[in-house]
Each structure stands twice: as C-alpha cells, then as structure tokens.
Amino acid sequence: SSVVVSSRGPTLAVAGKRVYGFWADYSLAIGQKNEMVITPLPGAQEEIDRIDQHWPVDHFTGAKGTKEAFMKQGGGSRILHFAMHAHTDYNESMKSGLVFTDERGQCDLLQAYEIYAMHFDAPLLTLNACSTADGRYVSSEGVMSLARAFQFAGIPSILTTLWPVNDRAGVSIMDYFYGTLGSELDKAEALRAAKLRFIDEADNITSHPYYWACYCMVGDTQALKKSNTSKLYIVLFMTV
C-alpha cells in the first residue's frame, strides 16, 4: 500500500500545463564515478514510451536533457518525471543528487543544495530513481532526502522511493500509475491501484514487496483531472 503524508483536497485540473519527463542514457558513463556506480537503465526509455500511451509526449534529446537545460526550463506549472540514477550521500546530505549526463555523455549531478535554491510550480513530481525518500536523519528536521529538497523548492506532491528501485518493475508501475492518473482517483489511490495491478500480474519473485513497496506518495494527494478540451503535453528530455 502507499505511504501518504497529506490531506485530501479537491480535484486539480491540469489541462494546458506542460509536463516534462527526463531520462538519462548512461552508455558513455558506465562504471565507478567517485562514490557512485553507474549502470545502464534499459527500461528508462520504455518507461517514457509507455507513459506516452496515456499522456501525449513531446520528445527532446541530447543537449536539451542536461542538468543545465533542466535548471533553465524546470520551472512552471508542469508535471515533472525523472527516470534516472540518484545518489544519496548519508554524510553530507546537500551532496545527494539526481544523476544527469552532460553533452559529452558524462555524469553531471544535480545536487540537493542546488534544488533548494530553485522554485517550482509543478503540481506533481515523480522521482523514479533509487532511494529518493532516503537520506541522513537530522534531529528535529527528519530525513534529508531529495524528495524533501524538491518539497522545499515548492512541489506539493511527490511520488518518491524508499530504497533502490528495480528497473523492470519501475517500467510497469509507472505505466499503470500514469494510466490511472487523471481519473477520479486521487494520486495516492492511483499509485495503490498501480501496485495492485503489478502484484496481480507478478510471478512468485516479483510479487515480493521489494519490487513495488518502495514507491510512496508524499504531500498533497488531490486528483489530477484531465480536461476534455485542452491537449496536455509530456515533454521528454533524453540525454545521450
């Protein structure tokens, strides 16, 4: 079931708001990078392709999907979706970050201290990356996670992860989640429905909670309602 820290509210219309999706191709960055071990994420592109079956996607590639491009264009009223690696620093939480790739295909970390300095009006952020709700615990503050940084930067609702995610399981769960998002269900209920469908279709191994229980919804859970009169775009940023 979903972990929810929120209260319910009225349905939020998202028609006309742009939606940006970011995923990274690590083919030129595989290996040990400082404290990070970079591996391929073959399911990232398929994940966005499946989302495209439910929400229209505009594809942007190469230089348009870098950290620098995100920092320039990441604001505004749009859903944000990340399918990439994340780095959690349990000693210096401000050094945790999302692992983008630059124009040369090398790792470029968007760190927590940079996120705290940004501002977003996005109604929803999906962090389909490892352990984005985890981090160093600070007394009287709580867990200093990447999700916390994005909340501080203004995002009211975040789909985040409690531990390392499985690439293949993430593809299916994101497919089912976005397939339900925009219905009468609120965001937490849409995530629960996605998990139940995944469990129903899983085998004896992938039905284990490790594969699906890491996903949780934090913040405002009010439903996102698609409009019948306006086209909604998901803008995909691909790094090569």
Which pTM was predicted?
0.86
Check: CB of residue 173 under 8 Å from CB of residue 86. no
Residue 17: predicted pLDDT: 52
Residue-wise pLDDT for 131-156, tens only, equals: 999 999 999 999 999 999 999 999 99
Phi, psi at 151, each rounded to 5°: -65, -45
Position 200 confidence tier, pLDDT thresholds 50, 70, 90:
very high
- For residue 105, how many C-alpha atoms fall within 13 Å in the half-sphere facing its CB? 9
Are 198 and 189 in contact, with CB atoms under 8 Å apart? no
Query: What are the C-alpha distances in Å from 36 to residues 128, 131, 168, 196?
Result: 17, 13, 21, 32
Q: How far apart are CA 198 and CA 81, in angstroms?
A: 20
Residue 29 pLDDT class (50, 70, 90 cuts): confident
pLDDT over threshold 70, residue 14: no
- pLDDT (mean) for 91-107: 92
Give the burial class of 18: count Cβ atoms within 10 A of its Cβ; 0-12 exposed, 13-18 middle, 19 or more buried. middle
72 in helix, strand or coil? helix
Kind plus residue range of the DSSP H or E element containing 160: strand 157-161
Identity of the residue numbered 99:
V
Residue with tokens 């085998």: 203
Measured in degrees and rounded to the nearest 5, phi and psi for residue 98 equal -90, 140
Question: According to the model, what pLDDT value does residue 3 have?
Answer: 41
Give residue 43's pLDDT band: very low, low, confident or very high (50, 70, 90).
Answer: very high
Contact 175, 201 (CB under 8 A): no
Q: What is the separation of C-alpha 37 from the centre of its chain, rounded to a whole number of angstroms?
A: 20
Written as six digits, the tokens of 221 are 């859970």
Phi, psi (5° rounding) for residue 238?
A: -115, 135
Distance CA 165, CA 162 (A): 9
| Residue 2: predicted pLDDT | 41
Q: What percent of the chain has pLDDT over 90?
A: 57
Tell whether the model's pLDDT for residue 226 goes beyond 70: no
